[in-house]
Amino acid sequence: MSDRTTAPGPGRPKDPAKREAILGAAQVLFLANGYEGSSMEAIAAEAGVSKLTLYSHFRDKEALFCDAVKSTCETRLPRSLFLLEPGRTMEQVLLAIGTAFQALVNSPESIGLHRVMVAMATQNPALSRLFFDAGPQRLLGDLEALFAEADRRGLLVAPAPLSAAEHFCSLVKGGAHFRLLIGYSDEPTADEAERHVREVVSLFLRAYGPGAAGKPD
């Protein structure tokens, strides 16, 4: 039976397992071979699907790349982390987000992807923008919404929530992330990572907490 007769047609539900296999294969090959070195044919073969099936899920390589980045972020930083639920303090929310974010950005997969994007920056700046919008910008947007809501509730003093989001991310990444990017050091141990996140959250709350010295009149 040909690919054309077995692949999902218009209106027919697509197989989520095949979509996950394609995303997983894309992540492996983009990291191993870079963006330009990873063809749709190779990704289809790695995923164990036909090209027709691959294109039924993703219209082109850029769309696949963006969805692979989004999938990684959604798995490692689920939207539930950014909810101000009853019984959770602001410190607990920030610790959970900081821990998950640090684990993501310092992971071998993320470091490899950042290196790919730095290498592509001058060759394909449009792809770099797609990457930023699919990954880092999504996180900043979620944090901005969280900090704006926390400001409204009086849990934080964050009249410029996007700036607060950028400050928080920069603090969590710290110097360790850059050292990892250039291969200067190994990933922090679990104890080192936990201690760093706790220090960051403490510092952030001193700057943005309700009793912060810089609280506007």
Task: Judge whether 24 and 47 are in contact, CB under 8 Å.
Answer: yes
pLDDT at 168: 98
Which pLDDT score is estimated for 216?
45
Nearest alpha carbon to residue 139 among 70, 64, 63:
70
Q: What is the mean pLDDT of the chain?
A: 89
Q: Alpha-carbon distance 153 to 172, whole Å?
A: 24
Instruction: Enter the pTM of the model.
Output: 0.84
Residue 44: partners with Cβ closer than 8 Å, 6 or more residues away: 22, 25, 50, 51, 53, 54
Kindly state the average pLDDT of the residues 19-36.
89
| pLDDT of 95 higher than 70 | yes
Q: What is the pLDDT of residue 7?
A: 42
Q: Render pLDDT for 102-159 as a digit per residue (tens, 0 to 9).
A: 999 999 888 988 888 888 888 888 888 888 998 899 999 999 999 999 999 999 999 9
pLDDT band at residue 13 under the 50/70/90 scheme: low
Which amino acid, residue 183?
G
- Please determine, for residue 24, whether its predicted confidence score (pLDDT) is greater than 60: yes
Instruction: Supply the pLDDT for residue 50.
Output: 94
Q: In sequence order, which residues have a C-beta less than 8 Å from that of residue 52 and are 6 or more positions away?
A: 3, 4, 7
Structural domains of the chain sorted by starting position, each given as residue range(s) with its CATH number in brackets: 3-67 (1.10.10.60), 77-208 (1.10.357.10)
pLDDT at 192 over 90: yes
Q: Give yes or no for residue 184 having a pLDDT over 70.
A: yes
Q: Which two tokens stand for residue 87?
A: 């019984």
Percent of the chain, pLDDT > 90?
A: 65
40 contacts: CB under 8 Å, gap ≥ 6? 51, 54, 55, 60, 61, 64
Confidence tier at 6 by pLDDT (50, 70, 90): very low
